[in-house]
Amino acid sequence: MAGQAFSTVIGGKYRERVRSYTYLYAASGDPTPNTVIHCDPEKAAYYVKQGFTAVKFDPILDIMSPYNPQELSLEVLDRAEAVVRSVREAVGSKCELLIGTHGQPNTYSAIRLAKRLEKYEPLWFEEPVPPENVDEMARVARSTSIPIATGERLSTFYEFANLIEKQAASIIQMSLGRSGGILMAKKIAAMAEVHYCQIAPHLYCGPIEEAANIQLDISTPNLLIQETIETCGGFHAEILKEPLKWEDGYLIPSSKPGLGVELNEEVAAKHPCIEFDSLAASSTQPQGRKQGGS
C-alpha cells in the first residue's frame, strides 16, 4: 500500500468529491432583529452564489453564557426565529440551513426553539442541549422532526455508541483530533451506518485535519456533508505547499499519497504556536470562538 492515498488503506473511494458547508461569519454593522453575531442573510446568499448548498449559524450565539444549560426567554426565541426566517428567505430552497446552539439551552427551551424552527426545514439542529446528558438530548430528538447533530465534544468510541444506541442524534460530528484519528472515526462511522445515521465530521484543527477528514469522507458511504472554513483559502491555503481544492461547493480529494498534503514549513515557522493560557492572560478582549467555528 506504499504510496497510496489513505482512503485506499481504509476501504477505497466511495465518491469522487465531498459536499461541504461553511459557518456564517459576523454580520456587517450593528445587529438588527434579523441578524445576530455570526449570522448575516446577505453573506448566506453570497455563499450560495459561490456554490455552497448548506450554511451553518447559531441564532442564539449572542447570549452565550458559561452557565449551561439555560432557559431561553420568549424574546430570545422570537429573535432566533426571525434570524432563521431571514436566512431562509435569503437563500430560498437552494441551500440547507444548519442550526447550531453550542449546547446553550436547557431541554425545555431546546424543544420550544425546535418547534418554532421546524417550518423553515433545517437540515439539522446541532447540540440542542449540552452533550454530556444523552438522555436529555434523546428527549429533544423525540420531540422534533429536525434531525439532531452532535459529536464534536465526544472523545471515545463508547460515548458515540451510547449516543447512537439511545437515538439521541442521527447526524454524527466526530472531530478527528479528539475522537482518536481516522481509523477510530471509520469505526464510529460504521457503527453509525448500521443505525441509519450519517456523519458530518467537525473541523477545528485547520487544513491538516481537513485533509484527514477528506480521506475519511471519500471512503465512507454514510457521509452527509463536511465542514469547511469558507473555501479553504487564506492562511489555511498558505500553510500548505499545495492548497486543498474546493470547487463549486465540493472538496476535491488529492490523489497524492497519505493525506495528500504537505505542510509549508517556512510559513509555519513564521507563525509559532501561542499557548492558550498565555494568549488569554495577555488579551484585553473576551476570548471568543475561532473564526468559522461550530
Residue 26: predicted pLDDT? 61
pTM for the model? 0.88
Q: Is the pLDDT of residue 216 over 60?
A: yes
128 in a domain, yes or no?
yes
Domain count, the chain: 1
* Residue 102 falls in the annotated catalytic set: yes
C-alpha cell at 63: 447570549
| Residues recorded for the chain | 294
- Classify residue 240: in a domain, yes or no: yes
Average pLDDT for 220-227:
98
Question: Residue 150 falls within a domain, yes or no?
Answer: yes
With respect to residue 5, please indicate whether it lies within any of the assigned structural domains. no
The answer to the question of residue 94 being in a domain is yes
The whole-chain average pLDDT of the chain stands at: 89
Closest C-alpha to 17, from 294, 247, 281, 258:
247
Q: Which of 38, 102, 195, 236 is catalytic?
A: 102
Please give the biggest Cα pair distance in the chain: 59
Question: How does pLDDT run across 274-290, given as a tens digit for each residue?
Answer: 765 555 555 444 444 44
Cis peptide before 105 (omega within 30 of 0): no
Q: Which residues constitute the domain of residue 237?
A: 11-282
In contact, 213 and 245? CB cutoff 8 Å: no
pLDDT for 164 equals 97
Percent of the residues in the chain that have a pLDDT greater than 70, as a whole number: 87
Within a domain: 288: no
Q: What would the pLDDT profile of 80-97 be if each residue is shown by its tens digit?
A: 999 999 999 999 999 999
Report the pLDDT value the prediction gives residue 32, as an integer from 0 to 100. 61
- What is the CATH number for 89? 3.20.20.120
Share of the chain above pLDDT 90, in %: 72
User: Does 290 map to a domain?
Assistant: no
pLDDT in the model for residue 275: 66
Taking only the tens place, the pLDDT of each residue in 23-65 is: 986 655 555 655 566 678 899 999 999 999 999 999 997 777 7
The yes-or-no answer on residue 202 being catalytic is yes
Query: Residue 189 in contact with residue 199, Cβ under 8 Å?
Result: yes
Catalytic residue among 38, 202, 236, 271: 202
Please check whether residue 294 lies inside any domain of the structure.
no
Rounded to 5°, angle at Cα 164 from 72 and 65: 25
